[in-house]
Structure 1
Amino acid sequence: MTDRKKRLLRCGSILSACAVIGVAATQQARAGATVNFGKDQFFTLGLGVKAQYLSHDTTMPKNGDAASADDLRIYMGAQFHKYVKSTLNLERLRDGNWNVLDGILQVERWKAFNIWGGRMLTPSDRSNLDGPYFLSTFAFPMVAQYPGAWSGRDDGIAVWGKLLKDHFRYVAGVYRGHNWVRGGSNYGEHPLFAARMEYNFLDPEPSAAYYTASTYYGKADILAIGLAGQYETDGVGTAEQKGDYKAWNIDGLFEKRIGKEARGGVYTLEGAYYQYYTGGVKDIAAGYGQRSADYGNVGGINDGTAFLASTAYLIPYRLGWGRIQPLVRYQEFRFRKDMYGPGHPKTTQFDAGANYVMDGHNLRFTFDYARYKPQGARAIGAFLLGMQFQY
């Protein structure tokens, strides 16, 4: 899922909010191009870009300004048979290399039961299943620290389905797991088990498979509650001192169209609560034994409790080519007592800003002010101007 420990302990990685967690956007974003080869056979190709200007970035020399294209993705999908599909998404890394984001063979015979195998998003919280392109905010939340081999993904096999007229969704899978590295706590021994279930009390969420979004800009009235959990024996620590990894969270999204559908506003309220357990063991450093902390499903899990809350309102009136969506968000990660210092040390972040929405999640600009206070250090403020584009 990215470098979680750096997100918690370093301001730059948190405020550099184009975070690399995402969804198989060939299914959620508009396909840029489609080539048909016959009945139930086609190939799609798309593109995703996120760029930002950050007024204060501690990852830069002298904590200076930073402007960058933080996320570049190529989306590819294919269907070979009515019930057999595949997804291959690539992402450009910060070091200039490319990595496989998603590589999935999808057998989808029934709506209620489908089988996926390969590299995919693991069952987890709404934010992770949103990915960076389908959040209501520009920044990926620091409190979401589910492990992943890359951008919230892991290699494994999963089953998922939709029931009760698409109001109930579930996904469960077995994956390679965390700290699969020589010297780590779980060098090839124990898999990661993960599952999520979600119920929509109003309209079903208009997102593909088990993926989610944190705003649909008025396409549906949403009241969704999700529950997710993960477990891995010896999932954290070193080969000499290891602990079992356990985590669970509950999250909710309420979104309501106000007034006439075509011209009304849209109110959004989102919240999530997390519990992470490491068995009293400190995890190894993120990216231990890897070329970079960006590579590999290694380290960075913290023992503690966390939550987030955010609200937004899509103003009904157009301003030029788009609409304004003001938003605020608060996050807090409270570390387990005695493991990271006396009492219950915590890291917090507050965001306030607005999106300029031109074409939903496919074309959006964001202005945001973030105040980040890491554990045991002074608070840091930064302004962010971001843009995302998908085709």
Structure 2
Amino acid sequence: MDRLLGDGELDLSFSGEINRFIGLQGAIVAQFGPTPTGGNITGSVTIRDVIAKFQFHDLLNVWIGRMIVPSDRSAFSGPWSMGPWNYPGFFEPYAPPIGPRQGPFGRNDGVTAWGKAAGGLFKYYVGAFNLHDSSVSPLYTARLNLSLLDPEPAYYQKATYLGEKSILALGVAGEVQKEGSVEPLPPPAAGEPPGTPRKDTYGEVNADLLFEKNLGTAGTITLEGAFYKYFGDFERFDHSYFALASYLTPSNIGVGKLQPLVRLQQAKPKNADSYLLIDAQLGYIIEGHAARVALGYQRSDLSGAKGNALFLGVQLQK
């Protein structure tokens, strides 16, 4: 806690239906803030989503374009629809999150076939990604989601419904990519050509569980957990996981509800001590996910490199 940093993100999204069989979705995202080499006050703008949607039946929808990779619940929820302010897996500053292989903002270019049964109590996803790069093998993904209480009919799923649904949901997923686990090589010496890395098949499997219950005048409790296992000779991590518990007050205190939350995250490198993150956060839910404030503390221990951070976040959506 020896410096003060700030960042921001603006997402502009649109979607629509051409007819009852064909739809479209798009989004752009603008960001500013700290970078590994300094600061970025001018910011950057890039494409987040570009999706053509084809609905043949509840059991078969096909989406083509740049979209969320169907992996874990956190990917479908994104930072906008979860309780914690910090997206899971961000152990190392300015590095991608430790978890399923995805892409910028959890997106990648590809195709997904998905469907639902019993109004969304059961859903499946299968996809192929990395289709923008002919030099690498496709990343194949699959996910099954079972909701035992209220259904979740949409492609996307939230990590908390803030008491609007009763949820007991289990998801299992996996990824595989031929030659996707690549040996990291040191920079070549001056005048020397770069070496040729060895490659192995990359694989990942995960499971996540969400329980959320509105207890009426007693408030809403949320329990969430996820476990990830990684395969490939050159993967840095063997496994990772997180566990979360939160409570939402039944009525407003001022203009919003209070949501205390704790989360434990751990990742095990293959050749080092474990990484550990602990978040303790107090949320103020003013208008559901549309307006909230989060104040929290994070303790980190990355194989002995320890740190502390206080964070304050403001989220607005319309």
The interval holding the TM-score normalised by the smaller chain is: 0.7 to 0.9
Contact 1:275 1:306 in 2 (8 A): yes
1:150 matches 2:97: no
204, 213, 216: which one aligns with 1:247: 204
What are structure 2's unaligned runs of at least 5 residues? Answer: 33-39, 90-96, 184-195
Pairing 1:322–2:241 present: no
Counterpart secondary structure, 1:108:
strand
Matches within 5 A, 1:69-80: 69=8, 71-80=9-18
How many equivalent residue pairs? 290
For normalisation by structure 1, the TM-score amounts to 0.71
Q: Give the corresponding residue for 1:228.
A: 173
1:64 counterpart SS class: coil
Report how far residue 87 of structure 1 moved. 0.6
TM-score normalised by the chain length of structure 2 = 0.87
Q: Could you say which residue in structure 1 is the equivalent of 2:66? A: 119
Aligned partners of 2:84, 2:100: CA distance in 1, in Å?
19
Aligned to 1:200: 147
1:134 and 1:106 mapped to 2: Cα distance? 22
Amino acid at match of 1:334: K
Q: 2:117 aligns with which of 156, 159, 163?
A: 163
Is 1:212 matched up with 2:157? yes
**Could you tell me whether the CA contact under 8 Å between 1:91 and 1:98 is conserved in 2?**
yes
Distance (whole Å) between structure 1 residues aligned to residue 259 and residue 265 of structure 2: 20
Question: CA contact under 8 A between 2:69 and 2:107: conserved in structure 1?
Answer: yes
Tell me, yes or no, if structure 1 residue 376 matches structure 2 residue 304: yes
1:98 Cα deviation after fit: 1.3
Aligned positions of 1:49-88 closer than 5 A: 56=1, 63-69=2-8, 71-88=9-26
Query: RCO greater where, 1 or 2, for CA within 8 Å and sep 6 or more?
Result: 1
CA deviation vs aligned residue, 1:51-110 (integer Å, no higher than 9, x gap): xxxxx3xxxxxx5111222x2111011221121111111011445221111100001132
Which of 334, 347, 366 is 2:268 aligned to?
334
Same amino acid, percent of matched pairs: 32
Q: Which amino acid aligns with 2:237?
A: D
Helix, strand or coil: the match of 1:129?
helix
Q: Is the CA contact (8 Å cut-off) linking 1:125 and 1:144 kept in structure 2? A: no
Structure 2 counterpart of 1:332, one-letter code: Q
CA contact (8 A) 1:177 1:232 kept: no
The equivalent of 2:312 in structure 1 is 385
The CA deviation at 1:316 is 1.1
Superposition map of 1:340-355 within 5 A: 340-341=271-272, 345-355=273-283
Q: Alignment partner of 2:286: what SS?
A: strand
Secondary structure of the corresponding residue to residue 59 of structure 2: coil
Q: Is the 8 A contact 1:146 1:152 kept in 2?
A: no
Q: How do residues 183-194 of structure 1 correspond to structure 2 at under 5 angstroms?
A: 188-194=135-141
Give the equivalent residue in structure 2 for 1:17: none
Deviation for aligned residue 1:137:
0.6
- 1:264 Cα offset (Å): 4.8
RMSD (Å), alpha carbons: 1.8
C-alpha distance in structure 2 between counterparts of 1:151 and 1:67, whole Å: 19
Structure 2 residue aligned with 1:285: none
Q: After TM superposition, give the deviation of residue 147 of structure 1 in Å.
A: 2.2
C-alpha separation in 1, matches of 2:103 and 2:168: 31
Where do 5+ consecutive residues of structure 1 fail to align? 1-55, 57-62, 181-186, 283-301
User: C-alpha separation between the residues in 2 aligned to 1:138 and 1:232?
Assistant: 31
2: CA distance, partners of 1:118 / 1:318: 41
**Range with greater deviation from structure 2 (367-376 or 233-242):** 233-242
State whether residues 7 and 31 of structure 2, in contact with CA within 8 Å, keep that contact through their aligned partners in structure 1: no
Q: CA deviation at 1:353?
A: 1.4
Provide the rounded CA distance (Å) in 2 between the counterparts of 1:162 and 1:99. Answer: 31
